[in-house]
């Protein structure tokens, strides 16, 4: 079996999960790590037994002895760090969002297509077998024509300490500060719920209206070097290509919820509901004349699907891209940019 040599770019946050995920793939060998922080880099490579360490991407590219990279840098660094990898002909998995601006995300997608390399955005919830099954059922016409949908992503780390104290931990504080690269709740979890809803529906969002909210969380809206100015909650109304209307919302103030996604799809011949609590997903359907008449819901347990890491590894073997690719990431970022523009325009509906 051919081994694909993988570079881990960025060693904070999600990087450990990437290493563990890729180490479960028999055709992947993690060969190097990159981080500008020498101490963090050394500790990470020691913990995960990674043989090579570089404090700059330029050094790693000069070395060059890797085939693919997983980009786990902060959101604002994805664009600047991914383009050199693509120019060097390296395959890339990039954390979401692909880039904080649609123009940059589109340029990344075009560069990946021109380079002819495998490219993928790590939209975490694509690992859900229930989401895959829902998308297949909608595509097969199981619920008829989609008419309405509801989607939400609820977190509570600003009100509960399940993930630690955000007031003292940089890995959470940066997510609240635009100057540290955060696009707020909308950019962080909005990209997930937009993908969750539109992937299951099998069609793009064509119109959006949005309102954002940033709440006071500390005296002077500041903790040390972190200005707490990124949005904490969002609400959106959306229309899809076939005219289906829906609501999408997300918040970091959803007390009682840890990290939960919900999706409801209502069609002319049935309905599908998904509930995802990060570790597992529940799915139920109400489909068919008898079920609709009696309002009977049935639990569905689909066959598990590969993780994103496994799918990227399989795509490297095939030499063919895998959804969600950079083009999908750019499409989602266009919706997010339009949502932000809508908020600036007082919540006006905008065409995408």
CA distance 313 to 308: 8
The DSSP H or E segment spanning 234 is strand 233-240
Burial class (CB in 10 A: 0-12, 13-18, 19+), 306: middle
pLDDT cut 70: percent of the chain above it:
100
Cα-flanking dihedrals φ and ψ of residue 212, to 5°? -115, 155
Pairing of the two strands 226-227 and 222-223: antiparallel
pLDDT cut 90: percent of the chain above it:
91
List the beta bridge partners of residue 246.
149, 238
Q: Which superfamily, per CATH, for 129-304?
A: Dihydrodipicolinate Reductase; domain 2 (3.30.360.10)
Domain locations in the chain?
4-124+310-321, 129-304
Length of the chain equals 352
Q: Do domains 4-124+310-321 and 129-304 have the same CATH topology?
A: no
* Per-residue model confidence (pLDDT) at position 212: 98
Q: Which token pair is 99?
A: 């880039």
* Per-residue model confidence (pLDDT) at position 12: 87
* Per-residue model confidence (pLDDT) at position 122: 97
Statement: residue 68 has pLDDT above 80? yes
What is the tens place of the pLDDT at every residue in 296-333? 999 999 999 999 999 999 999 999 888 999 999 999 99
- Which region among 3-7, 54-58, 180-184 has the lowest average model confidence (pLDDT)? 180-184
CA distance 236 to 246: 8
Per-residue confidence at 161, pLDDT binned at 50, 70, 90? Answer: confident
What is the tens place of the pLDDT at every residue in 189-211? 999 999 999 999 999 999 999 99
The DSSP H or E segment spanning 28 is strand 28-34
- Which region among 186-190, 228-232, 318-322, 342-346 has the lowest average model confidence (pLDDT)? 318-322
Which CATH number describes the domain made up of 4-124+310-321? 3.40.50.720
- Which region among 4-8, 11-15, 80-84, 269-273 has the lowest average model confidence (pLDDT)? 11-15
Overall pTM > 0.85: yes
What value does the mean pLDDT take over residues 73-78?
A: 91
CA distance 234 to 212: 5
Statement: residue 279 has pLDDT above 80? no
* Per-residue model confidence (pLDDT) at position 1: 75
Question: From the CB of residue 160, how many other CB atoms can be counted at a distance below 10 Å?
Answer: 15
- Top pLDDT among 111 and 278 is at 111
């Amino acid at each position: 079996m051919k081994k694909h040599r993988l570079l881990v770019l960025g060693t904070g946050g999600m990087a450990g999960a990437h290493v563990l995920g890729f180490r479960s793939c028999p055709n992947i060998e993690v060969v190097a790590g990159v981080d500008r922080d020498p101490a963090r880099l050394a500790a990470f490579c020691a913990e995960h037994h990674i043989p090579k360490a570089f404090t700059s991407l330029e050094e790693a590219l000069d070395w060059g002895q890797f085939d693919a990279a997983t980009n786990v840098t902060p959101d604002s660094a994805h664009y600047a760090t991914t383009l050199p990898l693509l120019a060097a002909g390296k395959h890339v998995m990039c954390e979401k969002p692909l880039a904080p601006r649609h123009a940059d995300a589109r340029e990344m997608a075009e560069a990946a297509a021109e380079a002819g390399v495998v490219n993928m955005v790590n939209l975490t919830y694509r690992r859900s077998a229930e989401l895959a099954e829902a998308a297949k059922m909608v595509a097969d016409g199981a619920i008829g024509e989609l008419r309405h949908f509801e989607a939400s992503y609820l977190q509570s780390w600003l009100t509960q300490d399940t993930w630690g104290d955000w007031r003292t931990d940089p890995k959470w504080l940066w997510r609240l500060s635009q100057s540290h690269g955060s696009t707020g709740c909308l950019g962080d979890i909005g990209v997930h719920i937009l993908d969750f809803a539109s992937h299951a529906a099998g069609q793009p969002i064509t119109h959006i209206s949005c309102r954002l909210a940033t709440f006071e969380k500390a005296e002077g809206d500041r903790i040390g070097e972190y200005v707490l100015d990124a949005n904490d909650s969002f609400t959106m109304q959306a229309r899809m290509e076939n005219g289906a209307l829906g609501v999408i919302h997300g918040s970091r103030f959803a007390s009682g919820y840890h990290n939960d996604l919900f999706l409801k799809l209502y069609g002319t011949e049935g309905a599908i509901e998904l509930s995802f609590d990060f570790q597992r997903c529940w799915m139920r359907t109400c489909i068919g004349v008898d079920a609709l008449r009696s309002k009977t819901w049935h639990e569905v347990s689909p066959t598990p699907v590969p993780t994103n890491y496994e799918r990227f590894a399989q795509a490297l073997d095939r030499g063919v891209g895998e959804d969600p690719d950079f083009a999908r990431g750019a499409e989602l970022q266009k919706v997010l940019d339009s949502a932000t523009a809508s908020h600036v325009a007082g919540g006006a509906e905008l065409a995408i």
